[in-house]
Amino acid sequence: MPTYTQKQEPTILPDGFYWFRVKNAKENTSTKGNDKIELEIEIQGSPTIVYENLTFSEKSFWRIDEFRTATGEKLASSGEVTFNAEDCIARTGCCELFTDDFEGRHRNKVTRFMHPDAVPADIVKMRESRFAPPSPSAAAGPMRVPGPPKMAKPDADNEPEEIPF
């Protein structure tokens, strides 16, 4: 008979502001056929992982810009932008979370990604250096946050469960 190890229920955080780091990101297609980036977001000081999509549709471009500015990137006044999943990995910033109830299951969702200048002062004091976004005045132009170092891909059997950062 097959067996498995049951995972515990996810930790649901109270609604509020939290520092985050993008743990993983991958490109996919939405049910309506639009390109999207699926973000896996770590929340500082918590085992909670929040999943968020950046969808490339006219109605959702504002959300991509909100994410980019929240993670320290200065936006050009206008123009076409190429933005990939790998551009998201390891970015940090502050977001506001709320608790969503979907089909009887509770989960945290992102209300908004906070511009660095709009983060409440008490939240700024709570950040750890590894989750601190870059100063918005530090970058003269668009900022690219490097992803994790390139390493040889391990076998699936020997891949570690979690990668510390």
Record the tokens describing residue 25, joined without a space: 């990101």
For 2-43, write each residue's pLDDT tens digit: 888 766 667 899 999 999 999 999 999 999 999 999 999 999
Is the pLDDT score of 128 beyond 70? no
CA 7 to chain centre: 22
What is the pLDDT at residue 162?
57
Is the pLDDT score of 157 beyond 60? no
Please check whether residue 98 is in contact with residue 13, taking contact to mean a CB–CB distance below 8 angstroms: no
What is the pLDDT at residue 78?
80
Give the whole-angstrom CA distance, residue 87 versus residue 83.
6
pTM of the model: 0.72
For 51-85, write each residue's pLDDT tens digit: 999 999 999 999 999 999 999 999 888 888 999 99
The pLDDT-based confidence of 114 (bands split at 50, 70, 90) is: very high
Query: What is the C-alpha end-to-end distance of the chain, expressed in Å?
Result: 38
- Where do runs of H (alpha helix) occur along the chain? 61-70, 121-126
What is the pLDDT at residue 151?
44
What is the pLDDT at residue 90?
96
What is the pLDDT at residue 110?
97
* Strand order through the sheet with 92-102: 49-55, 35-43, 16-29, 92-102, 105-114
| Across 61-70, 107-116, 133-142, least confident range | 133-142
What is the pLDDT at residue 71?
96
Give the whole-angstrom CA distance, residue 100 versus residue 57.
23
